[in-house]
C-alpha cells in the first residue's frame, strides 16, 4: 500500500479529492455526506497511526475529538474569536496537550488494560463536559452557531459557506492531513511505531524508548482528533455534545477496522461505507433502524475473515492478481545455502568507544545473584570479559545461563551484585539504555518484527544506534538518515540475507530467521554482543555456515556466546565459563574445559546428551 | 442575480489562486439560474421551483421523548394533509389558503432526532441540501430547537419550532429565522405560580427535579424566580441528565430535603420514570407534586399519579366547550388517529397553520418576506383564541392553560384526565422582549 | 450540609447498586481471567438477560420463570458465542478479540432494537416484593431491597462454584497460570466454554433481576459495561474478590457523591479509578499477570 514511490499516493489523493465533487453526486452522495466522510477520514488518519501502525487500540478517541471540537467552537461562539482556522488549530493543540496528559496515565498499561482505561477516561471527559464544564461546553445543548471559515486575502475575502464550497476547505484540510500522516509513517519514527506494534519487547531491546514513541503516537492521534472535532462544528454550524460519547469512539474503531487498519485510508473508506450504508439501507431499502445491525454484522465478518479490512483485502487481491510475492520460502533457503558465497563482506565495526582511555575488562560482574521467590537462579557470580575476547558459556539445562544473560543486558534486575560495562556501573539501568551504550544480545527464541520485511527489521535496529533512544524526527524520510542504508546493507551482507532483503519475515525459513535474529543485534553496532544459543535448532550444514558468520562478526568486537553445541563453540571461542546450578563451576580454555573432571561430572549428572557430540 | 452569486464567483477565483486548483474549486457544480426576481436565499427559490414545497421534520422517535415525538408528528401530518386538501379548519386560521401553500403541494421528510441536537442537525442538513427544504421543524427538546435555530439562521431556511420549553429558544438563542408558537418556562411559571401560591400558601419549601439542559435550567429558573416573590425557597435542585435510567439517588436527596412541594421539570419518559420512582421512595406521600410544563400522556403512563397534581400546558382537549376551532381539531384528530390530541400535536398543527397563513400573507416563500409577515404582529386565530407573534423575539403571545389531575372517580371517560382550572391570557405572562437577551440577527 | 438520614439512605442505596455491579463484574472478570478475553459484549449480555426474561414473563406471567429463562438463555448464548466465534480468536491478538466482541455487542443491541423497538419495556416486580418498605431511617422500594438479597445469593453461588468445585479450581488455577492448566491434560476448551457460559449468565441474571428496577431499553447495557470496566480495574482484573470489592466501592462512590451533586458521581468514580491505576496499577486485589 504505502510504497516508497515518491509522491504517488499524494498525487492520487489530490486527484481523488478534485474529482470527487463531479463523480460522487452521481452516486447519490450529497455534499454534506462527503464532508462528513472527510471529517471522519481525518479523525481516522491519526487513529490509524495509533492503532494500525502502533498497535494501540484506544476506545477513547472521543475525548480528544470533543476537546478539540469544543475548544474551537467555544472560541468561535462564546469568546468572540473570529478566525476559524486559528480556532481549529488552537483546538488541535488543546487536544494534543490533553492527549499527552492522558497518555501518561493510559500508557502505563498495555493491551486490554489500555483499552479499558481509554474507555473509562473518555467517559470522564463526557461527564466533565456535561457537568463541571457545562458553562463552557453548553452541556446537553452543545454549542450552536459555529461560523464557517473565511479568509481575507487583502484584495478579496473567500467564504466557504456550505455544501461543495465548504468541501473545498475540508478537502484541503484532509489533504494536508494525509501529507503529514504519510511523512510520519515514512519517517524513522513511523518505522519504529510499526516495530512497537510487532514486537515491543525487541523494539525496547534494540535501544528504542518505546514509551516515548507510544506517547508520540497517542499525541498525534489526539491532535488529528482535535482538528477533526473542530471541523465537525464548522460543518454542522453546531458542536454537538454527542461528540464526547463512547459511540463516537466506537464508530471510529469500527470504520477503521472495516476500511482497513494500517492503511491510513482505511478510516476514510470505512466512513464512506458506513455513511453510504446508513443512507442506502435506511432510505433506499427502507430498513429503518436495522441499518446498524447490518453494519455490525459486516464488521464482525470482516474482523473474522478479512483482518486487513476492505483496503487490506484489495491490496491482497492486487498482490494475488499481479502474481507478486510467490511463496517460496523453503526452497530458496536451500538454494541459497548451496550457493558459494561471494566475496565476504568487510567486517562491520563496532560503535566508536566513547572513553578510549579505559583499558580494563569490557564487562565485569561481581556477586551477581538473582532470586525468584525462594528459587535461586543465579548465585554470587563473578565474571569478567576482556576487550576483544570471545567467551563461551556452557552449562546443563537449568544452570541459569539465560537468567545470567538477562541480567547482563539489564532485562531483569539482579537481586544483588554489580555489573560494570567499560568501567561504568550499569546495574539497574534499562535494557534500552544499555543497548545504547553498546551492549545487546540476540535471543534464544527468535524475537523478530514478524510483520515486516528483513530490511525493515534491520532498519529498525540500525535506527536505534544512529538516532539514539528517542528522537522526534517526524518529518525526516528514512532515506535522510545518514549512514542508515550503508549500515543496513552491510548487516544484510554479513548475515547473508541480501537476496532476501524484501521478503517478509513470516516467509523466511528457520535458519534465515536465526541469522536475522543475530543481524538485529548486530545492526545496533554493539561493542559487546551476547548470543543466546545462536545455533539452536539448526541443521549441521547451517551450523557450519553460522559459525563462519560468527567468526566474521567477531573481528573487532567482544562476544559472549551461550550454546549447547560444544564442538562448534569450542572451535569459536577462546575461553569458556561453565555454569552449574546458578554458580560458576569453572573457567578456562576449551582444552582445559574438555578435560576438566568437574565439568564431565556436571554433564553426566545432567540429562543433556550433547556433550557426547 | 445578485450579491450572493457574485460572492460565490469571487470565492471561486480566490480559491484557485490559493490552492492552485488543488481541490477543484473552479469546477463546482453550477448554480441553477432562476427566473424569479427575488434574490436566491437559502433553499429559495430552488425548493419551490416545481409544483411542490418540501418540509424537513425531525422529531424524536426513539429515546426518552419518543412518545411525545410520535404525537407531535401526527399533528404535523394532519396539518399537511389539511393544508394540501384545503380543509375548513385551516381556512379558519389561514383564510387565503385554497389548496397547498401558494398553490404548491406540501411534501415532507421525517427523521428521528432521538432528542439529540446532533442527529437533528445532521438530518435537517440533509433535508436542506438534498430536498431543498423550504421550511424545517422539530423539537421536543429545546437543545434540538436551539441547535436548529442556529442552523436555520446560517442556512437561511425558516425554522418553525416544535415543542420547546426553554426561555432561550426565543431568548438569548433566538434567531431571525426561527419562530415559536408554544408556551415556555417564563409563561408557564407566571401562569402556574399564582395558582400554587393560592393553593399551597406563601413561604413554602420547594424541591426541584431538573433535566440538565436549556429547557430544564430555564424552566426551573423561572419557577424559582416567580415563587421567590411569594417567599418560597429552594431546598434542593436535583439536576439529572436526559434519559437517566434511575432516579433513586436524586429522590433520596429530595426525600431527605424537608420540602413541601416537589416541582418535577423532567419531561417525556424521564418525567414518567421519576414520578413513578418518587412514589416508590415515598416522596409523593411526603410532599405535593407540581408539573410546571405538562408532559403529554403522563397521566396515562404514570397510572394515576397525576391525581390532584397541578400542571401548566399549551392545550387540553376539554377546552373545546369554549373554543369552536379546538372542537374541530379534536374531531379531525380523533377521527384520523383514534384518540384525543395532546398539546404536542396541537402545537404542531397550529404552528404549521400559522406558517401557511404567513406565506399566503407574504405572497411568497421568500424567507425574509415570510419572516416580515410574522413580524407584522397581526392578530390571528389559534385553537385557544386569538394570538399574535411578537416581532422583537418571534414568540407567539398565547394563553397558558392550568390543569389539575382528576380523581379517578370523577373521570367521565378514559381520556378525561384533567380539570381545566384556568386559562391565563398570554399578554400578562410575557417577559419584556429584551429580558432574555434576544438579538434576532440579519434577514440575509 | 451533610444530612445524616440522607447519608445513611445513600449508603444503603449504594450497597444495592454496588451489589449489582459486583455480580456483573464477576462475570466479566472470570471470563477474562480464565480465557484471557475481554468480552466487550458483556453489557449486551446484561441487556439480553433483561429482554429474555421479559419475553418469558410475557408468556408465563411468572417472575421466577422469567429469571430462570433470562439467565439460561444468556448462558446458552454465551456458550454458542464461545463455540462459534470466540474460540477462533484465542490465538489472535488482543485487539482482534476486542474488535470482535465489540462488534458482537453492537449486533446484539441492534437485533434487540429491531425486534422490540427502542421503546422501553417494563417487567413488573413479583407480587411478593411490590410496595414500599419502611426501614425506619428511610422508605425503600421493597423490590430493590429484595434485589440486594437476590444478588448476594447469586454471588454466594458463584463463590461456591469457584472455590468449592473442581471446575472452580481449574478456573482459579487458570487465572494464576494459564500455561500450567494447559499442561494438566484437562480439556481446556470445554472448560473455556463452560466458563464463558457462567460469566455470561452472571450478566444475564443481573439483567433480568434489575429489569423491574429500571425500564428495559436496548442501550441499557452500554453504560453498565463502562462501569463494569471501572469496577474491574479498581478491583483487579481476573480477581473475583476484587470484582466484589470494586463493585461495592463503585456503588458507594456513586451514591455518596450523588448526595452532594449527582452530576459529579461518575466523575468521582473515574477519578477513583485513575487513582487506583497510579497507586496500584494491578488493582486493589489484582496480581501481576496477564495484560
**B236 - beta bridge partners?**
B207
Q: State how far the Cα of B153 lies from the Cα of A595, in Å rounded to an integer.
A: 96
Chain A residues inside the 8 Å CB shell of B143: 140-142, 241
pLDDT 10s digits, B28-62: 444 444 445 678 888 888 889 899 999 999 998 87
**What is the tens place of the pLDDT at every residue in B166-200?**
999 999 889 999 999 999 999 999 999 999 999 99
A130 vs C: CB within 8 A: yes
Does residue B325 sit at the A interface (CB-CB below 8 Å)? Answer: no
Q: What was the pLDDT predicted at B213? A: 85
Q: What pLDDT shows up at residue A536?
A: 83
DSSP H helices, A375-430, are 401-408
Contact C226, A250 (CB under 8 A): no
How far apart (Å, rounded) are the C-alpha atoms in residues A269 and A267? 5
For residue A499, the distance in angstroms to the closest alpha carbon of chain C comes to: 31
Closest CA to A535 of A430, A422, A444, A417: A444
User: Which bin fits C84, alpha (ψ -120 to 50), beta or left (φ > 0)?
Assistant: alpha
Computed over every residue of chain C, the mean pLDDT equals 87
- Give the model confidence (pLDDT) of B265-279 as tens digits: 999 989 998 998 898
Interface of B with A in 258-317 (CB under 8 A): none
B269 and chain C in contact, CB less than 8 A: yes
Residue A131 has its nearest CB partner, among C117, C263, C277, at C263
Residues 6 or more apart whose CB falls under 8 angstroms from that of C185 comprise none
Q: Do residues A337 and A357 lie in contact, with contact meaning Cβ atoms separated by under 8 Å?
A: no
Task: Count how many residues are written for chain C.
Answer: 291
> Span A17-319: which CATH code?
1.10.3470
Q: What is the pLDDT of residue B191?
A: 94
How far, CA to CA in Å, does A15 sit from each of A45, A106, A380, B14? 18, 39, 68, 20
Q: What are A498-510's pLDDT values in tens digits?
A: 999 999 998 998 8
| C223 contacts in chain B (CB < 8 Å) | 245
Write the residue in A31, A139, A158 that is nearest to B15 by C-beta: A158
Q: What is the pLDDT of residues B250-261, one digit of tens each?
A: 999 998 888 999
Strand partners, B290: B263, B310
A394 to A388, A514, A538, A574, B48: CA distances (angstroms): 19, 20, 18, 13, 91
Look-up: residue for cell 491519526? A46
ipTM: 0.89
Calculate the CA dihedral of residues B200, B202, B204, B209 and round it to 10 degrees.
Answer: 70
At which residue does the C-alpha cell 389539511 appear? B82
Asked if A213 and A70 touch (Cβ cutoff 8 Å), the reply is: no
State the burial class of residue C136 (Cβ atoms within 10 Å of its Cβ: 0-12, 13-18, 19+): exposed
A116 contacts on C by Cβ (under 8 Å): 38, 229, 232-233
Of residues A479 and A226, more confidently modeled:
A226
Between the ranges A597-606, B52-61, C5-14, where is the mean pLDDT highest?
B52-61
Confidence (pLDDT) at A544: 86
Cβ–Cβ under 8 Å, residues C226 and C28: no
Half-sphere exposure of C254 (CA within 13 A, CB side): 25
- HSE toward the beta carbon, residue A166, CA cutoff 13 A: 25
Q: How many CB contacts within 8 angstroms connect chain A with chain B?
A: 132
H or E stretch covering A366: strand A363-372
**C-chain residue closest to B68, CA distance:** C119
Mutation choice for B interface testing from A127, A158, A245, A279 by most B CBs within 10 A: A158
Tell whether B217 is within 8 A of chain C (Cβ). Answer: no
What is the average pLDDT score of chain B?
87
Indicate yes or no: CB of A120 within 8 angstroms of CB of C38: no
Looking at residue A223, the DSSP 8-state letter turns out to be H
Q: Vertex C265, ends C263 and C271: CA angle to 5°? A: 120
Put simply, whether C215 touches B (Cβ < 8 Å) is yes
- Spatial separation of the C-alpha atoms in residues B373 and B388, rounded to whole Å: 11
Spell out the domain ranges in chain A. 17-319, 362-438+528-613, 451-525
Give the pLDDT score at A47.
96
The helix (run of H) or strand (run of E) holding residue A142 is none
Which residues of C fall within a CB distance of 8 Å from A130?
263
Tens-place pLDDT, residues C146-189: 999 999 999 999 999 888 888 888 777 766 665 655 666 667 77
Which strands, in side-by-side order, build the sheet including B380-382? B380-382, B385-389, B396-397
Question: For residue A328, what pLDDT is reported?
Answer: 44
pTM of the model: 0.85
- pLDDT confidence of residue A178: 95
Q: Which CATH superfamily is domain A362-438+528-613 in?
A: P-loop containing nucleotide triphosphate hydrolases (3.40.50.300)
Amino acid at each position: 500500500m504505502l510504497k516508497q514511490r515518491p509522491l504517488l499516493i499524494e498525487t492520487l489523493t489530490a486527484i481523488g479529492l478534485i474529482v470527487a465533487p463531479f463523480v460522487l453526486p452521481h452516486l447519490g452522495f450529497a455534499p454534506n455526506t462527503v464532508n462528513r466522510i472527510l471529517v471522519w477520514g481525518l479523525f481516522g488518519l491519526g487513529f490509524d497511526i495509533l492503532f494500525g501502525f502502533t498497535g494501540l487500540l484506544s476506545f477513547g478517541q472521543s475525548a480528544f475529538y470533543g476537546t478539540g471540537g469544543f475548544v474551537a467552537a467555544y472560541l468561535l461562539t462564546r469568546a468572540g474569536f473570529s478566525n476559524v482556522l486559528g480556532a481549529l488549530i488552537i483546538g488541535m493543540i488543546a487536544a494534543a496537550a490533553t492527549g499527552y496528559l492522558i497518555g501518561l496515565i493510559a500508557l502505563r498499561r498495555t493491551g486490554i488494560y489500555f483499552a479499558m482505561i481509554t474507555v473509562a477516561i473518555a467517559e470522564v471527559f463526557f461527564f466533565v463536559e456535561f457537568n463541571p464544564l457545562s458553562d463552557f461546553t453548553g452541556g446537553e445543548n452543545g454549542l450552536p452557531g459555529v461560523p464557517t471559515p473565511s479568509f481575507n486575502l487583502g484584495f478579496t475575502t473567500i467564504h466557504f459557506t456550505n455544501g461543495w464550497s465548504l468541501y473545498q476547505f475540508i478537502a484541503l484540510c484532509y489533504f494536508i492531513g494525509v501529507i503529514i500522516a504519510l511523512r510520519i509513517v515514512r519517517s524513522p519514527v513511523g518505522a519504529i511505531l510499526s516495530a512497537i506494534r510487532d514486537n515491543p519487547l525487541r523494539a525496547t531491546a534494540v535501544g528504542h524508548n518505546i514509551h516515548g514513541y507510544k506517547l508520540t503516537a497517542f499525541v498525534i492521534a489526539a491532535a488529528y482528533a482535535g482538528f477533526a472535532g473542530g471541523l465537525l462544528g464548522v460543518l454542522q454550524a453546531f458542536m454537538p455534545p454527542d461528540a464526547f460519547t463512547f459511540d463516537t469512539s466506537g464508530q471510529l474503531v469500527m470504520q477503521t477496522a472495516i476500511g482497513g487498519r494500517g492503511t491510513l485510508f482505511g478510516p476514510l473508506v470505512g466512513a464512506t461505507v458506513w455513511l453510504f450504508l446508513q443512507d442506502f439501507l435506511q432510505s433506499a431499502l427502507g430498513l429503518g433502524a436495522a441499518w446498524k445491525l447490518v453494519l455490525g454484522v459486516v464488521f464482525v465478518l470482516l474482523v473474522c475473515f478479512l483482518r486487513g479490512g476492505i483496503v487490506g483485502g484489495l491490496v491482497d487481491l492486487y498482490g494475488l492478481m499481479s502474481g507478486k510475492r510467490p511463496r517460496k520460502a523453503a526452497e530458496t533457503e536451500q538454494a541459497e545455502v548451496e550457493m558459494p558465497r561471494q566475496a565476504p563482506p568487510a567486517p562491520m565495526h563496532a560503535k566508536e568507544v566513547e572513553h578510549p582511555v579505559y583499558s580494563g575488562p569490557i564487562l565485569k560482574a561481581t556477586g551477581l545473584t538473582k532470586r525468584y521467590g525462594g528459587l535461586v537462579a543465579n548465585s554470587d557470580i563473578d565474571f569478567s570479559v576482556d576487550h576483544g575476547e570471545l567467551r563461551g558459556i556452557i552449562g546443563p539445562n537449568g544452570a541459569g545461563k539465560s537468567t545470567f544473560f538477562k541480567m547482563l543486558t539489564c532485562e531483569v534486575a539482579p537481586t544483588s551484585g554489580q555489573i560494570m560495562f567499560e568501567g561504568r556501573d550499569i546495574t539497574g539501568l534499562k535494557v534500552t539504555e544499555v543497548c545504547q551504550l553498546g551492549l545487546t544480545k540476540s535471543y534464544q527464541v527468535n524475537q523478530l518484527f514478524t510483520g515486516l520485511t528483513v530490511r525493515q527489521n534491520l532498519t529498525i535496529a540500525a535506527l536505534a544506534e544512529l538516532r539514539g533512544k528517542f528522537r522526534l524526527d517526524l518529518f525526516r524520510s528514512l532515506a535522510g538518515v545518514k549512514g542508515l542504508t550503508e549500515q543496513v546493507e552491510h548487516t544484510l551482507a554479513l548475515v547473508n540475507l541480501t537476496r532476501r532483503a524484501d521478503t517478509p519475515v513470516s516467509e523466511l525459513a528457520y535458519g534465515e530467521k536465526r541469522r536475522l535474529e543475530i543481524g538485529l543485534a548486530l545492526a545496533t553496532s554493539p561493542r559487546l554482543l551476547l548470543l543466546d544459543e545462536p545455533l539452536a535448532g539448526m541443521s549441521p550444514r547451517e551450523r557450519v555456515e553460522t559459525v563462519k558468520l560468527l567468526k566474521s562478526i567477531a573481528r573487532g568486537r567482544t562476544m559472549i556466546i551461550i550454546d549447547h553445541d560444544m564442538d562448534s563453540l569450542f572451535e569459536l571461542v577462546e575461553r569458556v565459563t561453565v555454569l552449574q546450578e546458578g554458580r560458576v563451576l569453572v573457567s578456562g580454555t576449551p582444552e582445559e574445559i574438555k578435560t576438566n573432571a568437574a565439568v564431565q561430572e556436571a554433564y553426566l549428572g545432567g540429562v543433556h546428551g550433547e556433550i557426547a557430540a | 442575480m445578485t450579491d450572493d452569486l457574485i460572492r460565490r464567483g469571487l470565492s471561486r477565483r480566490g480559491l484557485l489562486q490559493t490552492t492552485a486548483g488543488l481541490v477543484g474549486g473552479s469546477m463546482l457544480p453550477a448554480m441553477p439560474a432562476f427566473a424569479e426576481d427575488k434574490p436566491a436565499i437559502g433553499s429559495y427559490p430552488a425548493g419551490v421551483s416545481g409544483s411542490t414545497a418540501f418540509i424537513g421534520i425531525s422529531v424524536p422517535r426513539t429515546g426518552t421523548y419518543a412518545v411525545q415525538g410520535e404525537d407531535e408528528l401526527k399533528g404535523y401530518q394532519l396539518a399537511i394533509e389539511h393544508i394540501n386538501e384545503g380543509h375548513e379548519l385551516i381556512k379558519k386560521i389561514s383564510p387565503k389558503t385554497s389548496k397547498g401553500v401558494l398553490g404548491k403541494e406540501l411534501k415532507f421528510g421525517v427523521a428521528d432526532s432521538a432528542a439529540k441536537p446532533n442527529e437533528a442537525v445532521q438530518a435537517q442538513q440533509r433535508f436542506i441540501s438534498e430536498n431543498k427544504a423550504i421550511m424545517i421543524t422539530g423539537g421536543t427538546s429545546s437543545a434540538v430547537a436551539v441547535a436548529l435555530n442556529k442552523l436555520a439562521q446560517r442556512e437561511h431556511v425558516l425554522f418553525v419550532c416544535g415543542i420547546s420549553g426553554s426561555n432561550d429558544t426565543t431568548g438569548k438563542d433566538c434567531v431571525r429565522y426561527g419562530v415559536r408558537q408554544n408556551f415556555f418556562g417564563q409563561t408557564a411559571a407566571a401562569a402556574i405560580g399564582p395558582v400554587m401560591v393560592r393553593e399551597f400558601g406563601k413561604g413554602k419549601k420547594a424541591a426541584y427535579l431538573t433535566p440538565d439542559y436549556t429547557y430544564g435550567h430555564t424552566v426551573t429558573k423561572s419557577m424559582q424566580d416567580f415563587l421567590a416573590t411569594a417567599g418560597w425557597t429552594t431546598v434542593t435542585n436535583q439536576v439529572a441528565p436526559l434519559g437517566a435510567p434511575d432516579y433513586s439517588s436524586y429522590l433520596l436527596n429530595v426525600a431527605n430535603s424537608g420540602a413541601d412541594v416537589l416541582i418535577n421539570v423532567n419531561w417525556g419518559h424521564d418525567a414518567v420514570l421519576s414520578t413513578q420512582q418518587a412514589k416508590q421512595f415515598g416522596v409523593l406521600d411526603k410532599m405535593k407534586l407540581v408539573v410546571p410544563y405538562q408532559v403529554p400522556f403522563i397521566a396515562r403512563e404514570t397510572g394515576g399519579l397525576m391525581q390532584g397534581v397541578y400542571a401548566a400546558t399549551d392545550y387540553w382537549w376539554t377546552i373545546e366547550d369554549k373554543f369552536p376551532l379546538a372542537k374541530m381539531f379534536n374531531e379531525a384528530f380523533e377521527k384520523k388517529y383514534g384518540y384525543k390530541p395532546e398539546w404536542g400535536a396541537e402545537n404542531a398543527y397550529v404552528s404549521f397553520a400559522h406558517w401557511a397563513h404567513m406565506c399566503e400573507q407574504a405572497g411568497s416563500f421568500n424567507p425574509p418576506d415570510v419572516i416580515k409577515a410574522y413580524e407584522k404582529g397581526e392578530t390571528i386565530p389559534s385553537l385557544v383564541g386569538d394570538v399574535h407573534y411578537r416581532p422583537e423575539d418571534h414568540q407567539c403571545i398565547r394563553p397558558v392553560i392550568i390543569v389539575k389531575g382528576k380523581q379517578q372517580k370523577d373521570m367521565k371517560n378514559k381520556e378525561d384526565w384533567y380539570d381545566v382550572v384556568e386559562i391565563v391570557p398570554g399578554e400578562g405572562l410575557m417577559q419584556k422582549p429584551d429580558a432574555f437577551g434576544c438579538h434576532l440577527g440579519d434577514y440575509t | 450540609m451533610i444530612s445524616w438520614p440522607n447519608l445513611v439512605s445513600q449508603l444503603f442505596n449504594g450497597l444495592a447498586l454496588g451489589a449489582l455491579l459486583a455480580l456483573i463484574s464477576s462475570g466479566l472478570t472470570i471470563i477474562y481471567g480464565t480465557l484471557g478475553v475481554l468480552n466487550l459484549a458483556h453489557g449486551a449480555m446484561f441487556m439480553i438477560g433483561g429482554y429474555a426474561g421479559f419475553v418469558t414473563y410475557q408468556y408465563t406471567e411468572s417472575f421466577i420463570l422469567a429469571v430462570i429463562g433470562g439467565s439460561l438463555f444468556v448462558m446458552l448464548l454465551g456458550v454458542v458465542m464461545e463455540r462459534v466465534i470466540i474460540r477462533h480468536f484465542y490465538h489472535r491478538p488482543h485487539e482482534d478479540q476486542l474488535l470482535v466482541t465489540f462488534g458482537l455487542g453492537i449486533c446484539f443491541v441492534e437485533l434487540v432494537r429491531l425486534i422490540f423497538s427502542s421503546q422501553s419495556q417494563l417487567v413488573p416486580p413479583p407480587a411478593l416484593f411490590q410496595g414500599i418498605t419502611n426501614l425506619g431511617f428511610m422508605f425503600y422500594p421493597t423490590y430493590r431491597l429484595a434485589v440486594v438479597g437476590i444478588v448476594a445469593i447469586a454471588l454466594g453461588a458463584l463463590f461456591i462454584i469457584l472455590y468449592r468445585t473442581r471446575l472452580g479450581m481449574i478456573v482459579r488455577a487458570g487465572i494464576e497460570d494459564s500455561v500450567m492448566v494447559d499442561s494438566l491434560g484437562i480439556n481446556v476448551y470445554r472448560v473455556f466454554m463452560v466458563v464463558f457460559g457462567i460469566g455470561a449468565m452472571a450478566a444475564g441474571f443481573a439483567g433480568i433481576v434489575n429489569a423491574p428496577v429500571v425500564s428495559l431499553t436496548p442501550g441499557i447495557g452500554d453504560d453498565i459495561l463502562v462501569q463494569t470496566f471501572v469496577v474491574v480495574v479498581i478491583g483487579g482484573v481476573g480477581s473475583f474478590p476484587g470484582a466484589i470489592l470494586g463493585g461495592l466501592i463503585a456503588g458507594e462512590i456513586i451514591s455518596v457523591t450523588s448526595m452532594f451533586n449527582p452530576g459529579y458521581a461518575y466523575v468521582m468514580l473515574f477519578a477513583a479509578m485513575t487513582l487506583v491505576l497510579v497507586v496500584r496499577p494491578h488493582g486493589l486485589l489484582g496480581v501481576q499477570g496477564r495484560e
